[in-house]
Chain A
Amino acid sequence: MRRREFSKALLTCSLAPCAGLAQNFESSVLSVDDLPELVGDISLYLGRGEGGLYENVLRAISDRNPKLTLNIRRGPTAALANAIVAERGAGIRRADVFWAVDAGAIGLVVDQGIAEPLPSELVKQLRPNYRYRDWLPVSGRIRTLPFNTNAVGIEQIPQSIMSVPEQGLKLGWAPEYASFQSFITAMRFLEGNEATSEWLLKVNSLAKRYAGELGVVMGVERGEVDVGFANHYYTLRLKAGKPNARLGLAFTRGDSGCLVNASGVLALTSDKTVFDFIRYLFTREVQSYLSSEAFEIPLIDGVALPPGVPPLDSISPPAIDLTQLSDLRPTLDLMRELRVL
């Protein structure tokens, strides 16, 4: 393998708790004790995912608010987004709140102009880069390059995602995976279709294919491949279950390779109880629960990141409106045209 020198400033993380993370706790983040009791009925459409941890959050909110009747409809996120749009088209409003596991599905609804503007003081709780008028990212996940620490050094991994297929590295990917497809959508917006096509073709000729991104990370750890493409939390979770795993995390800079995607919430009803319900999701308690249990990234100040993730300020995600990730159809068409899917 040809070694190339790259800046030692390349972001990396040793998967040990990053120094200083726990120090930035003073902020205006609300506690659940600061919020009013929820009274009334709310109909929530909930995208499936996160192994039941979102369910635990909802159960805790319900238990704390006995006068709240929370009706939940569950399903694949994209299907629920389509249902919301179709219901609105038919003049029906069944959902008051939509909690989606990815921002792309949120974008599908927001694009229809049917999401209600959120109170400004709620929006301002988010970090400046993650403030949107009609929806809020609940928790984030970063695109990363997990690598086998026995096979490659951090200096062998480029800072540009577009250069990754050029390094002679053995690569692993899961192109059928929704997160990967959102990443490619971001690449299309940032680099254009032609460059994205070239990248896909190169990676397709080089990479070992896995069914999911946890599989990618396990393949990296076993040494089947040197480097993979995956969301950050798979590496953290594998490392939690196998502390001696031969895994490191690398981040590119300023491109789709370090996209911070997010689950998101929006209101379809302008109502105090609905907005207060959403406030619960941004309390210190819920945000720290999602961080510690789901390894997701809190996007409000004052809540510790999962151990193993560098401070958000040191990551340079691309400037992209996450709702643009709803433009998935051209991505799928492109991937099919190139026989990646």
Chain B
Amino acid sequence: MRIKVTSMLGLFAALAFLVSHPVASFGDGEVGEHVNNMQEHLVNYESEIVWFLDELSKIIIAYEDGGSNEYSSDMLIDNWEAVDFHAAIETNYIQIYASIWQGIYGVKASLDSGESLDSVDAQVAGLQKALWQGLGAVKLAARFQSEGLIGTQGDIDSRSLSPSETLDAIKSELDRAIAKSAERLPAEATDIVLSAYLELFEGLEGDLITLDAELVEDLEKDFNVTLPQALGSELSIDDLNQVVSQMKGKLDRSKELMQEAEASRRSVF
């Protein structure tokens, strides 16, 4: 498993955000205590992926054989929502979480529309890749957690996020919005964007606007118009990623500006 350094930083920022925002809710109900001790549950997560893929194989065979009451494509979603690994990846690496949902809907759509076996296989390959990448990310997060580098869900907010960490947290929230869109939950995706704006970006923009007013105006429009509209439309996940990627570029520029400003800010005493 290859995970880039930037991805690890993003992971760390996302975890920091989650630790400091214990009220963060997830669309599929209880997160589960297992996410507070992931190291002990890694074997379970892995076996869940194996089980999920076995069940997927049975569903595909049933479709090849002309359909079955016992195995329908809807079971893909039920099975995914039933496994603990779902919460582990959702709370730790939302970009892969989105890819998993994208893969699930890709396989489901190809089965439901009666596409060729090759097309189904291509979708399955994408889903398998996302699942195993997800396990790798969870293993990394579990190691950080066991070494005390990250806290557990529900910790008291004992530290504040720096502006840079806040901007990283916003980027993670944008990824989470795409994930919700991949889950076919556009209203929830839009709520995440608006919450990220109100709870995170608004605390920064007063400072940021003194550094680059036009950049803030652009981001204001992105948060309140461009991205909500994109989430509410029929754009593909790839197209949504493009919108978010542009926003992330502006957030990265914001981060640079705020780091420079913080470095040159006068001291209190």
Contact partners of A61 in chain B: CB under 8 A: 268
CA distance A212 to B219 in the complex (A): 13
Q: For chain B residues 138-162, which have a beta carbon within 8 Å of chain A?
A: 156-160, 162
Contact partners of B194 in chain A: CB under 8 A: 211
Q: A51-B204, A52-B162, A73-B157 are in contact. Are A57 and B268 (CB under 8 A)?
A: yes
B202 contacts A214, C-beta separation under 8 Å: yes
Q: For chain B residues 237-269, which have a beta carbon within 8 Å of chain A?
A: 265-269
Contact partners of A289 in chain B: CB under 8 A: 266, 268
Contact partners of A75 in chain B: CB under 8 A: 157
Is B163 on the interface with A (CB-CB < 8 A)? yes
B266 contacts A51, C-beta separation under 8 Å: no
Interface string of B208-244 (1 = CB under 8 A from A): 1111111011001000100000000000000000000
Is B67 on the interface with A (CB-CB < 8 A)? no
Is B114 on the interface with A (CB-CB < 8 A)? no
Min CB gap A208→B, angstroms: 13
CA distance A49 to B157 in the complex (A): 14
Is A130 on the interface with B (CB-CB < 8 A)? no
B206 contacts A73, C-beta separation under 8 Å: no
CA distance A49 to B207 in the complex (A): 11
Contact partners of B212 in chain A: CB under 8 A: 241
A212 contacts B269, C-beta separation under 8 Å: no
Contact partners of A240 in chain B: CB under 8 A: 209-210
B202 contacts A242, C-beta separation under 8 Å: no
B163 contacts A52, C-beta separation under 8 Å: yes
CA distance A53 to B158 in the complex (A): 17
B209 contacts A237, C-beta separation under 8 Å: yes
Is B198 on the interface with A (CB-CB < 8 A)? yes
Contact partners of A60 in chain B: CB under 8 A: 267-269
Total A-B pairs in contact (CB under 8 Å)?
A: 86
Q: For chain A residues 214-272, which have a beta carbon within 8 Å of chain B?
A: 214-215, 218, 222, 233-234, 237-238, 240-242, 245
A51 contacts B203, C-beta separation under 8 Å: yes
**Centre residue among A61, A222, A238 by max chain B CB count within 10 A:** A238
What residue of chain A has the Cβ atom nearest to residue B194's Cβ?
A211
Is A114 on the interface with B (CB-CB < 8 A)? no
Contact of B209 among A48, A55, A214, A285 (CB under 8 A): A214
What residue of chain B has the Cβ atom nearest to residue A52's Cβ?
B163
Is A320 on the interface with B (CB-CB < 8 A)? no
Is A286 on the interface with B (CB-CB < 8 A)? yes
Q: A32-B269, A289-B268, A292-B266 are in contact. Are A241 and B216 (CB under 8 A)?
A: yes
Contact partners of A215 in chain B: CB under 8 A: 220, 224
Min CB gap A63→B, angstroms: 8
Contact partners of A59 in chain B: CB under 8 A: 268
* Chain B interface helix/strand/loop/mixed: helix
Min CB gap A244→B, angstroms: 10
**Centre residue among A52, A61, A289 by max chain B CB count within 10 A:** A52
A51 contacts B206, C-beta separation under 8 Å: yes
Is A56 on the interface with B (CB-CB < 8 A)? yes
Contact partners of B206 in chain A: CB under 8 A: 50-51, 214, 233-234, 237
Contact of A48 among B163, B203, B208 (CB under 8 A): B203
CA distance A61 to B268 in the complex (A): 9
Interface string of B5-18 (1 = CB under 8 A from A): 00000000000000
A74 contacts B198, C-beta separation under 8 Å: no
Q: A73-B158, A218-B217, A241-B209 are in contact. Are A56 and B204 (CB under 8 A)?
A: no
Min CB gap A74→B, angstroms: 5
Min CB gap A36→B, angstroms: 15
CA distance A75 to B163 in the complex (A): 16
B209 contacts A238, C-beta separation under 8 Å: yes
Is A166 on the interface with B (CB-CB < 8 A)? no
Interface string of B49-86 (1 = CB under 8 A from A): 00000000000000000000000000000000000000
Min CB gap A55→B, angstroms: 5
B217 contacts A52, C-beta separation under 8 Å: no
CA distance A52 to B262 in the complex (A): 10
Q: For chain B residues 152-178, which have a beta carbon within 8 Å of chain A?
A: 156-160, 162-163
Is B197 on the interface with A (CB-CB < 8 A)? yes
**Centre residue among A51, A56, A59 by max chain B CB count within 10 A:** A51
Is A202 on the interface with B (CB-CB < 8 A)? no
Interface string of A48-86 (1 = CB under 8 A from B): 111111011101110010000001111100000000000
Min CB gap B190→A, angstroms: 13
A285 contacts B269, C-beta separation under 8 Å: yes
7 A-B pairs in the complex with CB atoms less than 8 angstroms apart: A51-B203, A52-B207, A74-B157, A74-B160, A211-B198, A241-B213, A286-B268
Q: A51-B204, A74-B157, A285-B269 are in contact. List 19 more A-B contacts (CB 8 A).
A: A48-B160, A48-B203, A51-B163, A51-B206, A51-B207, A52-B160, A71-B158, A72-B158, A72-B160, A73-B157, A74-B159, A211-B194, A211-B198, A240-B209, A241-B209, A241-B213, A245-B213, A286-B268, A293-B265
Chain A positions within 8 Å of B, measured between CB atoms, are 32, 48-53, 55-57, 59-61, 64, 71-75, 211-212, 214-215, 218, 222, 233-234, 237-238, 240-242, 245, 285-286, 289, 292-293
Question: What are the 7 A-B residue pairs with the smallest beta carbon separation, nearest first?
Answer: A60-B268, A241-B213, A242-B213, A240-B210, A51-B207, A241-B210, A241-B209
